[in-house]
Amino acid sequence: MKFFDTHCHLNIPPLREIYKEIIESAQKNNIDYIVIPGTNYEDSIFAIEIANSFNNIYCALGFHPNEIIELSLKEIIIKLDKLKNNLNEDKVIAIGEIGLDKKAGNFDFQKEIFILQIRLAKKYNKPLIIHNRELSNDLLKILKQEWNDYFENNIVFHCTEPNEEILEFAKIKKLYLGFDGDLTYRKDKQEFIKKVPLDLIVMETDSPFLLPEPLRTFIKHQTRNKEENFFPNKPENLILIFNKIVEILNLDKEILAQKLLENSLRLFNLK
């Protein structure tokens, strides 16, 4: 069985210092493919560097909504313009992660930057990796407004919220829903994934975040203060998410693994 971690931040602390050993260990554990999304200009460039130094490691470029707050529109336009030069590189397979985040504030600015990046993707025919925190309606409105048919099979709702409207839109347009370590402990997501067509499911660890169970509880018991409590997630833990999906959907492991791999490759136009 081969696995694909479709969302893993090897380009940010604390993983950026140890990405080589993390990738080697992942590949030993059959996590053959990884996509590293960008969250700002600097880590997008670093993501390309990492992707270029290993087989089957790919990256996406973009501004995460939490990373734009301290920048002006002009600064972002200049940086996006620089990133354009990298969009045709072999290992750059998407624009992301981009989107809307309720906690980040300044919604009009977030929307403006999101739309700018969708238009960039359209111009270069790139898939989208979408971040959404509690702003599903605004997000869907923008996606419908900016829709282009090539986006069919080329968008993932990263760490999807268990939202019916998103699921309906994804079914109609053939878009992917990403499931992470929180699937191992969130009952609402465990119910939600049962409604998602198998063709639209992809897995992601979102490392260093979202440590899956049982590691999450184990670490909680090992550590006392909050700071120590941050134990980075790693792509090799994808297998814990996979086992949970097997359990919830009650499917044959080999068949499910093959399906999830095919979905991930199709999402990023890799085969």
Q: Which residues bind Zn ion (CB under 5 A)?
A: 97
Q: Which amino acid would we find at residue 261?
A: L
Taking the C-alpha atoms of residue 126 and residue 93, their distance in angstroms, rounded to an integer, is 7
Smallest separation (angstroms) from Zn ion to the CB of 251: 27
In terms of CB distance, is 60 or 80 closer to Zn ion?
Answer: 60
Smallest separation (angstroms) from Zn ion to the CB of 113: 16
Q: Kind and range of the H or E element at 101?
A: strand 92-101
| Positive or negative: CA dihedral 26, 27, 29, 32 | positive
Q: Is the peptide bond before 14 cis (omega within 30 degrees of 0)?
A: yes
Taking the C-alpha atoms of residue 88 and residue 95, their distance in angstroms, rounded to an integer, is 12
In terms of CB distance, is 155 or 256 closer to Zn ion?
Answer: 155
Smallest separation (angstroms) from Zn ion to the CB of 209: 7
Smallest separation (angstroms) from Zn ion to the CB of 63: 12
Smallest separation (angstroms) from Zn ion to the CB of 61: 13
Separation of CA 143 from chain center: 17
In terms of CB distance, is 131 or 244 closer to Zn ion?
Answer: 131
Strand partners, 8: 207
Smallest separation (angstroms) from Zn ion to the CB of 261: 21
CB 59 within 8 A of CB 38: yes
In terms of CB distance, is 97 or 101 closer to Zn ion?
Answer: 97
Smallest separation (angstroms) from Zn ion to the CB of 82: 22
Shortest CA distance to 39 belongs to which of 68, 63, 65, 69? 63
In terms of CB distance, is 27 or 233 closer to Zn ion?
Answer: 233
In terms of CB distance, is 98 or 256 closer to Zn ion?
Answer: 98
Backbone phi, then psi, for 142, in 5-degree steps? -65, -45
Structure letter (DSSP) for residue 261: H
CB 3 within 8 A of CB 201: no
In terms of CB distance, is 205 or 257 closer to Zn ion?
Answer: 205
Taking the C-alpha atoms of residue 234 and residue 15, their distance in angstroms, rounded to an integer, is 8
